[in-house]
Each structure stands twice: as C-alpha cells, then as structure tokens.
Structure 1
Amino acid sequence: MADISRRRSPDLIGNGAVREIYALHAPELYRFALRQLGDGCAAEEVVQETFLRVWSSARGFKPELASMRVWLFAIARNVVIDETRSRLRHDKRMAAARTAAARGGQMSSDIAHITINRRLVQAALLRLNIDQRTALVETYLRDRSYSEVASELDVPQATLRSRVHFGLKALRLVMTEMGVHREV
C-alpha cells in the first residue's frame, strides 16, 4: 500500500486515495463522533461531512505540518462543534417557544405553535425537489393563481397542477418522516 499520508494534496482526489483514506480512518472518526455526540446517526453525518470537506479542501492538506490522521481529526472536531452548536440553537429555540407558550396563555401558545409549524414546513419544503417546492410556495403560500405562476415559470398549467399535486404528496410524506402528524 502506498504511503497516502505523505501524498501531496492534488493526489488525494485521484487514484481512489480518498477511498483508501476513508477505509483507513472512517471507523475511528465514527467512534470519535459517537463519543462526542452520543448519537449514531449524527456520528455518521459527521464522518460524511468530514470527508466531504476533505474532498473539497484537499489542497489544504500540508503533510509537513501534520499527518493525515491529525488533519482528519481536526476537520472532524470542527464538524462535531458545528453540529453541537446547531443542536444547541435548535434546542434553545424550541425551549423558548415552549416557555412562551406556557407563560403567555393561549395567545402565546398559538404564536408558538404557528412559529413551530412554520419552521417544520420550511424544513420539509427544503427536502422537496425545486420544481415541486416552487409550485407549492407560489400557489399555496403566496396565494397566486395557477395561470399567473405557470406563465411566470413558462410551463403549461397542467404541468404546474401536476407539480402541486405530487409536491403535496411528497410534503405529506416528508412531514410524516419528520414525525409530524396531521391534526384532525
């Protein structure tokens, strides 16, 4: 096996070196992330994000400064910090919404529910393809007519209606996957 820890950065991308590096270091990076976050899914995402950053910034690797392992763990540490900060922000927003709902009575509760629902819908919409998302946002959320939106997007109205129909189905599925259930 070639000494991949001493390769110059342009060689990292070619010849399957990233795959080699992944095979050598991914399990160890996963265990590191799992110890830090306590969540297997989040640890897998950290490893994936680490190697995405490795691939996109391969030219930043300087073997004279640190070994490949040290570089990978530095990147993974930054990804873990980013993930932790993201979780904390999310938890703070949710706690603030719950506190406001509990303290402020029904009106605050309604505002909190609206805010939470809005965030959930935004997150779900981001998981749809761009055509369906655009169709739903323009027709449902901005309350524009099909003819106006179809004209602007330069598509037939039937195509737009189809995008809305399948977009709503996809949105329901995404919301279900997110743990959101319809209220009767």
Structure 2
Amino acid sequence: MTTGEELLEAVHGAHSADLHRFVVRLAGDEQLAQDVVQETLLRAWSHPQVLERPADAVRAWLFTVARNLVLDHLRSARHARERTTGTLPERQEADRTQAVLDGWLVADALQRLSPEHRAVVVGAYYGGRSVAELAAEQGVPPGTVKSRMHYAMRALRLALQEKGVTA
C-alpha cells in the first residue's frame, strides 16, 4: 500500500507537465498556470480518495479542477480590474517638502544680508567659486572676501536662529 504523498508524487510526475501546458493554453498566462497547477495538486492532496482512482479518472479530475479554477479566475472581479503590463510603474520619489521649506528659510535669511555679504555667500556656496575668483569678480582683495564671508555667515546664523532653526 502506498502513502498519500507517494500517490501525489506519482500523479505530479505523470500529469503536471500536461496540466501546465493545458492551463497555459487556456489562460494565456504563465504565472496563473503555475498557480492553478499548484492549487489543483493541493486539492488532489486534500482529497486522497481521488488519487486512488484509475489513472484516467485521476487525469480527468485534475483537468476538470484546473479548468474550473481558470474559469473562476477569468470571471472574478479581480481579473476584470487588474491588467498586467511589461512596464514598471513610476519610481516613488522621496518627499522633498522639507527641502523646499528649508530652501525658503535660507532664501529669506539671505535677503536679510547686505548685497555685498549676500554676493559672497551666494558666489561661494551656490556658485562654487573660490575666494580668489570672488575677489576678482567683485574687485576687492581676497582678505575682504574672507571678512565678508565671516560676517555674512554670522548674520545668516542669527537670521536663521530668529526663525527657530537650531544648530
């Protein structure tokens, strides 16, 4: 006498490939076919009396169950509403709200600086220019640019602290 697992392994070996091809032709979906074959064999395992029938009766039972599972899927509301696609959805982007708000805070604080101090900070931090380049642009010595940068950063820090920004 063979056990239920041995019978199921024998049924799987004898019928799963044909059952898979049948479901793929019926449904036109490889993933669904794999799911249906797995569910069909699970149902056969749940009903061991089916596995003890003659081979032709077992095969007919398996194909009937698989056909019914495919038809149930095709009639379901899920199938009617869901569509598969080969393209991936848009990537989710990080929330940039805080960065925008921080930018507004800094822009407002920059407006409080004198034009000379603002020109040095903007040129160095946003323009990426060196002290020598800023000195040449503004027609002042490099030491003046460094001094303006020092006092501009101090004033900027105070302006941000007034707005509640802490270090």
TM-score, L = length of structure 1: 0.40
* Bigger share in helix: 1
TM-score, L = length of structure 2: 0.44
Larger Rg: 1 or 2?
2
